[in-house]
Structure 1
Amino acid sequence: MSSAKIDKTKHKVLLMGRSGSGKTSMRTIIFADNPNVGVRKMTPTKEAEQVHLEFMGNLYLNLWDCGGQSAFMNQYFSSQNEQIFRNVAVLIYVVDAKAISTDKKSEEEDRTWFEMCIKSLKQHSPSAKTFVLLHKMDLVSNFEQPNVVRGTVDMLQELAGDHELTCFQSSIWDESLYQAWSRICTYLLPGVEVYRESLNSLIHAIGAREVVLFESRTFLTLVRESREADPAEDQQRFERVSTILKHFKITCLKMQTSFREMQICNSEFSAFLWPFTTSTVALIIHDRPDEVEMVQANLQLARGHFAELEAQVMKVPLPGAHNFDDDDDDEYDDGENGEEGAEGNSSDDEYDDARD
């Protein structure tokens, strides 16, 4: 395996939205091995909590989890405007889908705060990418969901003007949250496309039906390749796998143990989940359950090559983005505590109570 030195990259990510929209609960679920049932004990975030989250070993997300109470939001757009919005790579704006569709005050606040966010980004970080999460979709009836999504997206796009938005529906109770965060994190790591050609070669070398790479800490989907394109397949199935694996990991941690690999075999197919490189886990779907040892041997041979690719992945820059450095940490540095910061007991809602 390669011992090539990989430079660390740090990107500033803003997590914003009204108080109670679910910002901190989703962050802890994705990055801190915190199950969704744990969000019931969380209390509102105060001001801007800054945490450094490790992803793919050498990518650090300097995530600013901004409390959504009106007093704090007013400060973000006045006295703290430049500090909050400068050098931003990504803004994640979280909308409570139930509240915005049923409460006029919530809609007006989201309209005001979102418009101010876009204006501030255009002034201080014009190249920043904006993702919108229409969150708590499980609280909106299936009948109402199309109208809520269409109305909210149209409103936000009108406010954003020529600033491009990428919108997702999400809930902490299904795989949609992992789908959204997988897209966000792979946007911040454009080099993952480097894997595709080699994954395609690996598929044919081992006779696999499909190969998927997950990030080893979060189980977010990085990249996947299939031997044959099948548009009828469930497009969210691997995010569903991410959700299952993360819950299994949490269960193992509660038992003071961990899992290294997993195999599922029947008469029709076999699925193998193995540690691959330092920062990735590989899922291989194979049509021949009797070829487990051959697949394992080929994966072992391929690890060195993919370790070299991992170094290349980290070198691909994010177009137009500022590489956030330690000099930018000038006020909110008490939250600079890595993964432990992601496990803090502060949040912006008690989401499970609303679901009940």
Structure 2
Amino acid sequence: MSSASRRKVLLMGKSGSGKTSMRSVIFSNYTAKDTRRLGATIDVEQSAVRLLGSLVLNLWDCGGQDAFLDNYLVAQRDTIFTNVAVLIYVFDITSSEWEKDVHYFEDNLQALRENSADAGIWVLINKMDLVDKEDPKRLMYAERRAEILAMNERLSAGVDNAGPCRIFPTSIWDESLYKAWSSVIHYLIPNIKLITEHLTYFRDLTKAAEVAVFEGETFLVMAKSGSPLDAAEVELDEWESERGVGRLDRQRFEKVSEIIKSFRRTCQRTGEQFLGFEADFDGCVVVLEPLTRNTFMLVITTDPRLTASMVKYNISQSTIHFVEVGLTVSTFHRKCSICRDTVKKYMPHAVYDVEGDDDPNVVAWDDVPVESDVKPANGTGSHTPASQS
């Protein structure tokens, strides 16, 4: 396993903040109710979590008792905070010792910037379900968020290539947990721009409204076509705006994650295997199908000419190239102008070395027939990558 595909992730926070519970919900298929039987983490629990086949998260779940926190900052400082890709720090918003909690976070942030300056920082302000009813406008969350961002800005000033700091309100009882952890995984994927470019191409080719890829085990959304995962409506591209993506639920991917994981638990109890999902609504077709061994593709289309079977066929014909694109690949051998252009633009350390790339007789994955050459079938028409894959 190359170092490029193994990423160290620290999971830290005071004891009782919910670190191990959220880890168990995301990676061990626990329900929120199941986490009640979990005990406190002692010192550091390491686990290797394989995502999408070639990306491995080296997850360090660090116990949050005061003695352990002090030890991380003194005796284990270099061991804990070196070569970190992402620090996930969990706060309990109901804590009565907020100032003390913030002090520990400041010490950890300082150690991280000294040893892994470019690490990303994801702050999860947890147990929001316990305060939302009393604070519907989330004023407390807004204050906590502003305080943490100001602290990061102060400690990151003058640090070369300081990683980003993002903050999420979370609860193990709703889909907010999936949104936060999906953002982490999205950040860690080395070839995310390449994958996004391919998803956008697939969307345009098949006349879909939106295409997204989910990781097979955690069912976290990895990437989507067009605009970024957390883009505001004004940031949608022209294609998305024309097809009504802006009217879709802002939490749609997180809700899909939660629903599918719950349904898969039901399948396991009944001895069944989850293979996919399709639904034909009034003016909308939704298909969720395996893309590769470790991923599922979600396709949403509002084109009345497109059926679920046509969408599934297009997904199956795209599998070969999506497998070859991979996640941590650094040398490309399959002719594809998307790969060629993306490597030149975003991946300076990668190599696009394709035999016959200049030969027009060698068909590329993204070579498609012109609109007039596509023959309708039974009154419908659709571009598919079938003949090019």
Band of TM-score, shorter chain = 0.7 to 0.9
Unaligned runs of 5+ in 2: 157-163, 227-238, 332-342, 348-389
Tell me: CA distance 1:98–1:299, structure 2 relative to 1, closer, same or farther (3 Å): same
Question: Are the counterparts in 1 of residues 124 and 167 from structure 2 also a CA contact under 8 Å?
Answer: yes
SS in structure 2 of the partner of residue 46 of structure 1: coil
> What is residue 173 of structure 2 aligned with on the other side?
173
SS in structure 1 of the partner of residue 282 of structure 2: coil
Q: Which has the higher contact order (CA 8 A, sep 6+)?
A: 1
Q: Which residue identity is paired with 2:199?
A: L
SS in structure 2 of the partner of residue 138 of structure 1: helix
Structure 1, residues 5-38: CA drift from partner, whole Å, max 9, x if none?
9987111111000100000110111111112111
Query: Matches of 2:269 and 2:309 in 1, distance apart?
Result: 31
Asked if 1:294 corresponds to 2:310, the answer is: yes
Shift of 1:195: 1.9
Query: Matches of 1:262 and 1:314 in 2, distance apart?
Result: 33
Question: Are the counterparts in 2 of residues 49 and 66 from structure 1 also a CA contact under 8 Å?
Answer: yes
> What is residue 66 of structure 1 aligned with on the other side?
62
Cα RMSD, aligned residues only: 2.4
Per mean C-alpha deviation after superposition, the further-off stretch among 186-195 and 239-248 is: 186-195
Q: Which residue identity is paired with 2:72?
A: Y
Structure 1, residues 41-78: CA drift from partner, whole Å, max 9, x if none?
11111111111111111111111101111111111111
SS in structure 1 of the partner of residue 201 of structure 2: helix
Shift of 1:314: 7.3
> What is residue 94 of structure 1 aligned with on the other side?
90
> What is residue 112 of structure 1 aligned with on the other side?
103
Structure 1, residues 93-143: CA drift from partner, whole Å, max 9, x if none?
0000122xxx1xx21221221011011112211121111001110111345
SS in structure 1 of the partner of residue 272 of structure 2: coil
> What is residue 222 of structure 1 aligned with on the other side?
222
Question: Among 256, 261, 280, which residue is 1:246 paired with?
Answer: 261
Mapping 1:127-276, distance limit 5 Å:
127-142=118-133, 144=135, 146-160=138-152, 161-163=154-156, 164-225=164-225, 227-229=239-241, 230-276=245-291
Question: Are the counterparts in 2 of residues 169 and 176 from structure 1 also a CA contact under 8 Å?
Answer: yes
Query: Matches of 1:125 and 1:18 in 2, distance apart?
Result: 21
Query: Matches of 1:312 and 1:92 in 2, distance apart?
Result: 23
> What is residue 328 of structure 1 aligned with on the other side?
none
Shift of 1:312: 5.5
Query: Matches of 1:277 and 1:256 in 2, distance apart?
Result: 23
Asked if 1:123 corresponds to 2:114, the answer is: yes
> What is residue 349 of structure 1 aligned with on the other side?
none
Tell me: CA distance 1:6–1:84, structure 2 relative to 1, closer, same or farther (3 Å): closer
SS in structure 2 of the partner of residue 109 of structure 1: helix
> What is residue 38 of structure 2 aligned with on the other side?
42
Tell me: CA distance 1:6–1:285, structure 2 relative to 1, closer, same or farther (3 Å): farther
Count of residues paired in the alignment: 309
Tell me: CA distance 1:75–1:97, structure 2 relative to 1, closer, same or farther (3 Å): same
Tell me: CA distance 1:8–1:123, structure 2 relative to 1, closer, same or farther (3 Å): closer
Tell me: CA distance 1:171–1:313, structure 2 relative to 1, closer, same or farther (3 Å): farther
Tell me: CA distance 1:291–1:147, structure 2 relative to 1, closer, same or farther (3 Å): closer
Asked if 1:21 corresponds to 2:17, the answer is: yes
Shift of 1:290: 6.3
User: So what's the TM-score if we normalise by structure 1?
Assistant: 0.81
Shift of 1:291: 2.1
Tell me: CA distance 1:234–1:177, structure 2 relative to 1, closer, same or farther (3 Å): same
Query: Matches of 2:57 and 2:254 in 1, distance apart?
Result: 21
SS in structure 2 of the partner of residue 64 of structure 1: strand
Question: Are the counterparts in 2 of residues 153 and 167 from structure 1 also a CA contact under 8 Å?
Answer: yes
SS in structure 2 of the partner of residue 36 of structure 1: coil
> What is residue 280 of structure 1 aligned with on the other side?
295
Shift of 1:279: 2.1
Query: Matches of 1:210 and 1:280 in 2, distance apart?
Result: 16
Question: Are the counterparts in 1 of residues 132 and 138 from structure 2 also a CA contact under 8 Å?
Answer: no
User: So what's the TM-score if we normalise by structure 2?
Assistant: 0.74
Query: Matches of 2:305 and 2:288 in 1, distance apart?
Result: 14
Question: Among 57, 62, 76, which residue is 2:53 paired with?
Answer: 57
Q: Which residue identity is paired with 1:68?
A: G
Tell me: CA distance 1:75–1:136, structure 2 relative to 1, closer, same or farther (3 Å): same
Unaligned runs of 5+ in 1: 320-356
Tell me: CA distance 1:313–1:16, structure 2 relative to 1, closer, same or farther (3 Å): same
Tell me: CA distance 1:275–1:90, structure 2 relative to 1, closer, same or farther (3 Å): same
SS in structure 2 of the partner of residue 134 of structure 1: strand
Question: Are the counterparts in 1 of residues 52 and 215 from structure 2 also a CA contact under 8 Å?
Answer: yes
Shift of 1:249: 1.3
Question: Are the counterparts in 1 of residues 278 and 308 from structure 2 also a CA contact under 8 Å?
Answer: no
Question: Are the counterparts in 1 of residues 5 and 328 from structure 2 also a CA contact under 8 Å?
Answer: no
Structure 1, residues 287-327: CA drift from partner, whole Å, max 9, x if none?
338623222222221111211222566789x99xxxxxxxx
